[in-house]
Structure 1
Amino acid sequence: MKEFSCIITALWLGSLGTAIKPPTTDVVHEQRHPDASSTLIKRWKPHSGLQLPMRIGLKQNNIEKAPRWLMDVAHPTSKKYGKHWTAQEVIEAFKPSDETVDSVKQWLEDSGIAEWRITHSNNKAWLAFEASLDEAETLLHSDYLVYQNTNGRMITDCESYTIPQHLTKHIDYITPGVKGVDITSRLRHHAIKGGVSSGQVRPRGTKLGRRRFKPRKRLSTAPIPKDLSTCDKAITPVCLQTLYQFESLDTTSVVSSNNSLGIFEEADYYSQVDLNLFYAKYAPHISKGWGPELNSIDGGEAPVPFTQAGGESSMDFQLAIPIIYPQKAVVYQTDDGYYSTLENKMGIFNTFLDAIDGSYCTYCSDGECGNDPELDPVYPDSHHNGYKGKLMCGVYKPTAAISISYGKQEQDLPAYYQKRQCNEFLKLGLQGVSIFVASGDTGVGGIPGDGTRNGCLRNGKVFSPTQPNSCPWLTNVGASMIPRGKTVNDPEVAAASEGFYSGGGFSNIFPIPDYQSEAVENFFEISKPRYAYYHNGSYGSSNGLYNRNGRGIPDVAANGVNIAVYVGGSLVTEGGTSASAPIFAALVTRINEERLKIGKSVVGFVNPVLYAHPEVFNDIVNGTNPGCDTQGFSCAPGWVSPYLK
């Protein structure tokens, strides 16, 4: 623990103190659950002069109206279809009322926090100010402690705090409060006499689960570029063109500058050498050296030498670029070398969302303001070769379509964390951004060994939904496949290959959205799943295996088995729903291009259109998605896994 020797000297080993008794007009606003600190170690009392970054999350307006507003611009029958909002319009629609801002400011000023010390955030959701520990404890009638999280970072929080009763309708929550903030750097610059011995850091539990089908197979015989007879063994660009009935764009086509495809990557990197090899073999119309534009987020780097290339990034771009070329692709390469490794991080997507929407950096929702100090990276990163810049906020414009082939299970992250991100996906949808996410590769279960015996809930029996897939404001993409011995002219089936089964099921956090309700009802009526079920996510008090009234996953599907890919200079096959997501996102990018040519808008959040027009799909009616010691759900006409004609 040498790294924290300077921190330890900054702490004062004293009594925990007693909070100042609040006035009778105050009420407890938040109180931490007894299990909330299960991953934290020894707490100490900080020095009274320590400066804390106080943030007051203000109650926002119109959150309950947001789904209706999204349907206004996303449903094909709406008169406002395609009339997407600007980022500023989103901020104005949800900002707190003037009464809320004025009331909270008045309380702060009456409590000795001068007006000149208070900053109102750009997204209008926060009031921010610096306060000494003494000021914070007097203001909130609380006791603050310092503890160490599983990343070795120093956090301060309190067990509970109070505010005047009349402000409860104006204040969402306050940080540091029962949710802590990282004060590692502040402690390093606030050393005083005294010290304590450090405790043992507890090992982190859940790791980030990347959605990628393994193992990888080396192709002994390379498929011929225009040969359709081997598509059941290796999917090439010509196989996809025939399956989904599209042609490559003319290389001289004039394409819109407002219609790029963005692809999220983390801890996996593409190589230009591999792209060039793939072009030469299967897409000779693409210029050598053509690759995605790098949008580096908090130290993310790409491309890399081919010896360091990863299968995920290689597959994503070798699938997507031949579909959209000469349209531009963008890689959102996220987080530095330390935080992007699987062993050092629990959360996912927050720093990415920060970078494409600056308001998200300070957005308050469901008990969270900004990033989580226990789950998310902290920048500048003090680790060796860490990114030393500030957290990147709003530095990149989101592309019209974004493909994400990464994720976790719902149980891996707190519900508030997922709900905050889900609200952001809704706001991006209002602005015309389409987000496509791979549905997972373990059927109705999770990743075996990921905190459970077989990746499933309640003693390995209950189905485990994926995250962020359960959010209703994005599009989930499952995987289909050409059965061995069949051709591109035969019906695809649900993906099943060497332990890989397309992910699907029902959320334990989010209810069935209106646009999906009829499809879900029809599915239950036709397929008649034989498993006991529960409602409202209450699997702990039920013998059921899945949530009957949860958001259904996936929405659509595309091929995801035996994808021909160059990785590290070798031709191999990869797969998983990680392949399906960029395929579908690329096809929607092509649709966007055609709409823009005739003066229409991009499609934006596309689910209402997809569910309102099932005639544009072919049904996958064969296959299951096993998991949790069951056969999972069976495909049925109408849903679960349609694919593009």
Structure 2
Amino acid sequence: MPPWFHEPGHGSPGGNLYNISADLSRCDELITPACIKALYHVPLGNKAHPGNTLGIFEDGDFYAQEDLNLFFSNFTPYIPNGTHPTLDSIDGGYAPVNLSEAGGESSLDLQLTYPLIWPQGVTLFQTDDINYSSSNLTNSTGFYNSWLDAIDGSYCTYSAFGETGNLPIDPVYPDPLPGGYKGTLNCGTYEPTNVMSISYSQQEISVPANYQRRQCNEFMKLALQGHTIVFSSGDTGVAGRAADPRPNGCLGPNHTIFNPRWPDSCPYVTVVGATKVYPGKTVFEPESVANDLAGAPYKTAYSSGGGFSNIFPIPEFQKTAVNTYFELHDPGYAYYSGDEPLGANGGLYNRSGRGYPDVSANGDNMAVYVGGKATREGGTSASTPIFASIITRINEERLAIGKTPVGWINPVLYSHPEVLNDITNGTNPGCGTQGFGAVPGWDPSSGLGTPHYPRMLELFLSLP
């Protein structure tokens, strides 16, 4: 799979840092489960409703059980070795794999999720056969439709915006390539979980606008049916991944225009940016937006993604927050609006587009095991399953008192930003700029802020 299809962890050696697994004074060096629980005031779980597993989407990246066992033994001995997700194999997706084939994304997702939700379980939506989920083996540029087909059979033939079903840019099953999945396309094979965490995203420029609009309609349907869909905001600030013909990941003839992400721009998904405990800080102090230079500590530079859509307008639930941001904290860049051409007026971003992220969580210096080795990983791939896990815990408490899952949470969060920890420090640079800065209130680098589990729980338990 091309590298821009997901937000992989940025690995760096872990060394002897695992000796500090329960030492909260050193969370600026390594984020362990104990650090996450302290940051967001999350107690150990004690409930396990059978219908409340957390869904994790994977495509082209695989976990090894040995890595999970090493992680449980070193960090969460209350979770038994052998604990593993329930596999929903979509169109030939498979897992687990041998240690030599283990990937950083799957390891990160599962090793962050289990400590927060245990004894609840995980459903793994492992999607696409090896041809479509591996890099350069096909010309497919479409994404998510195989998964959406599998969890909602009606989507396979759904018509919207001049499109019906999948397009030629999507994976085709039976797969005619050698070694491919020879079964028919999975349609309605599996049930969607109450919360679904997806750490893979692209740029809006990657696929046609109507492809995204039809897909966004499906996210709306799922959200209104009671499902919470959580996406990562990306790891390249206001830019995209560097690739021809955009060597710095930015748009326009001079590669200076900000490059928004899909499906982050869909208002029916909850987008999670990344924060960091900066060196010398503790989990008892405010976090900052994750922003690391190349080599410190990862091989490539990394900054939490954020910006404004070129396709979807500002949704009603977000208007007050976005307007307040522009009124009190204008970033000072030239902009274009609405139907104006990309880059009109010398603009770097679309002032009237849907803003993201919606929220944030820690996404730097995460303790993981990959391929049998201790390492550190980072990215909004980390912050996304953390936030999704907290919503799963809230659903568990609601189910215990006879209420339904929370479903589409964006309107509630924007109406009650006080249940989140506001982030006011840091930027998400890209395209030759410092990007957008974190400020009081919502901003396009940290969203509304990071979770505060007790306040969020109290709010959501009070709702019908």
- Counterpart of 2:29 (choices 233, 244, 248) is 233
Quick check: 1:222 aligned with 2:31?
no
Amino acid at match of 2:220: L
Partner secondary structure for residue 573 of structure 1: strand
Are 2:60 and 2:134, in contact at CA under 8 Å, matched by a contact in 1?
A: yes
Q: 2:85 aligns with which of 272, 276, 292?
A: 292
| Equivalent pair of 2:9/2:379 in contact (CA under 8 Å) | yes
Counterpart of 1:622 (choices 412, 417, 425) is 425
Which one is further off, 282-291 or 520-529?
520-529
The reply on whether 1:644 has 2:457 as its aligned counterpart is no
1:525 maps to a residue whose letter is E
Partner of 2:246: 452
1:525 partner SS: helix
Q: Could you say which residue in structure 2 is the equivalent of 1:352?
A: 147
Higher mean displacement: 537-546 or 303-312: 537-546
| Alignment pair present for 1:610 and 2:413 | yes
Distance 1:215 1:322, change over 3 A: closer
The equivalent residue for 1:383 is 177
Residue 186 of structure 1 corresponds to none
In structure 1, the partner of 2:228 is 434
Give the Cα separation in 2 of the matches to 1:386 and 1:610.
43
Alignment of 1:16-55 (within 5 A): none
Matched, 1:502 2:304: yes
Paired with 1:515 and 1:558, the residues of 2 have a C-alpha distance of: 21
Residue 450 of structure 1: how far off its partner (Å): 4.6
Secondary structure of residue in 1 paired with 2:25: coil
2:189 is the alignment partner of 1:395: yes
Q: What residue in structure 2 maps to residue 548 of structure 1?
A: 351
From 313, 327, 344, give the equivalent of 1:511: 313
The Cα of 1:278 is off from its aligned counterpart by 0.2
Residue 496 of structure 1, CA deviation: 0.8
Change (3 A) 1:223 1:533: farther
2:264 paired with 1:469 = yes
Contact 1:223 1:234 in 2 (8 A): no
Q: In structure 2, how many angstroms separate the alpha carbons of the residues matched to 1:581 and 1:215?
A: 17
Q: What's the counterpart of residue 54 of structure 1? A: none
Give the drift of 1:497: 1.6
Matches within 5 A, 1:46-195: none
Superposition deviation, residue 208 in structure 1: 4.3
Could you tell me which amino acid in structure 1 is paired with residue 29 of structure 2? K
Alpha-carbon separation, structure 1, partners of 2:276 and 2:19 = 17
1:633 aligned residue: 436
> Does structure 2 retain, via aligned residues, the 8 Å contact 1:264–1:402?
yes
Percent identity over paired residues: 55
* 8 Å CA contact retained: 1:223, 1:230: no
- Secondary structure of the residue aligned to 2:112 is helix
Deviation at 1:390, TM superposition (A): 0.2
Aligned to 1:210: 6
Whether the 8 Å CA contact 2:17–2:30 is kept in 1: the answer is no
Cα distance in 2 for residues equivalent to 1:550 and 1:377: 30
The ranges of structure 1 where at least 4 consecutive aligned residues each deviate by more than 4 angstroms after the TM superposition are none
Distance 1:215 1:451, change over 3 A: farther
Contact residue 54 and residue 193 of structure 2 kept, 8 A: yes
Q: State the one-letter code of the partner of 2:101.
A: Q
Q: CA deviation at 1:540?
A: 4.5
Partner residue in 1 for 2:375: 572
Q: Is the 8 A contact 2:4 2:241 kept in 1?
A: no
Q: Alignment partner of 2:133: what SS?
A: coil
Contact 2:57–2:127 (CA under 8 A) maintained in structure 1: yes
C-alpha distance after superposition, 1:497-548 (max 9, x if no partner): 2311000000000000000000001111221111000011531544100000
Once the two structures are superposed, the pairs formed by residues 585-596 of structure 1 within 5 Å of their partners are 585-596=388-399
1:400-456 per-position Cα deviation (integer Å, ceiling 9, x unaligned): 000000011000110011001100000001110100000000000001125302101
Measure, in 2, the Cα distance between the counterparts of 1:500 and 1:207.
15
- Partner letter of residue 34 of structure 2? V
Separation of aligned partners in 2, 1:599 and 1:525: 43
Kindly provide the amino acid, as one letter, of the partner of residue 230 in structure 1. R
Instruction: Check conservation: 1:493, 1:621, Cα contact below 8 A.
Output: yes
Match of 1:527 in 2: 329
Give 3-state SS (helix, strand or coil) of 1:564's partner: strand
Offset at residue 256 of structure 1 (A): 1.4
Unaligned runs of 5+ in 1: 1-203
Counterpart AA for 2:40: Y
SS of aligned partner of 2:111: helix
Match of 1:412 in 2: 206
Q: What is the one-letter code of the residue matched to 2:276?
A: M
Q: Is this contact kept in 2: 1:216–1:573, CA < 8 A?
A: yes
Q: Structure 1 residues 307-316 or 490-499, which shifts more?
A: 490-499
Q: Deviations over 1:159-215 (max 9, x none)?
A: xxxxxxxxxxxxxxxxxxxxxxxxxxxxxxxxxxxxxxxxxxxxx9x8643212434
- 1:218 Cα offset (Å): 3.3
2:280 is the counterpart of 1:478: no
Confirm or deny: 8 A CA contact 2:237 2:302 kept in the other structure.
Answer: yes
Distance in 2 separating the partners of 1:523 and 1:467: 22
Residue 555 of structure 1 deviates from its aligned partner by 0.1
What residue number does 1:108 align with?
none
Structure of higher RCO (CA pairs closer than 8 Å, 6+ residues apart): 2
Name the CA distance, whole Å, in 1 between partners of 2:13 and 2:60. 21
Normalising by structure 2, we get a TM-score of 0.92
Where structure 2 has 5 or more consecutive residues not aligned to the other structure, the ranges are: 294-300, 453-464
Q: Which AA in structure 1 matches 2:39?
A: L
Q: Which has the larger radius of gyration?
A: 1
1: distance between equivalents of 2:423 and 2:371?
A: 34
- Contact persistence 1:237–1:319 (CA under 8 A): yes
2-side partners of 1:404 and 1:368: how far apart?
A: 24
Instruction: Give the 3 Å change call, closer, same or farther, for CA 450–480 of structure 1 in structure 2.
Output: farther
Which residue of 2 is the match for residue 267 of structure 1? 60
Output the CA distance in 1 between the equivalents of 2:272 and 2:156.
28
Deviation at 1:223, TM superposition (A): 3.6
Q: What is the CA deviation profile of residues 115-146 of structure 1, one whole-angstrom value per residue up to 9, with x for unaligned ones?
A: xxxxxxxxxxxxxxxxxxxxxxxxxxxxxxxx
The whole-number CA distance in structure 2 between the counterparts of 1:570 and 1:450 is: 34
Conserved? CA contact 1:207–1:450, under 8 Å: no
Aligned-CA RMSD value: 1.3
SS of the aligned residue for 1:403 comes to strand
Per-residue deviation, 1:279: 0.2
1:342 paired residue number: 135
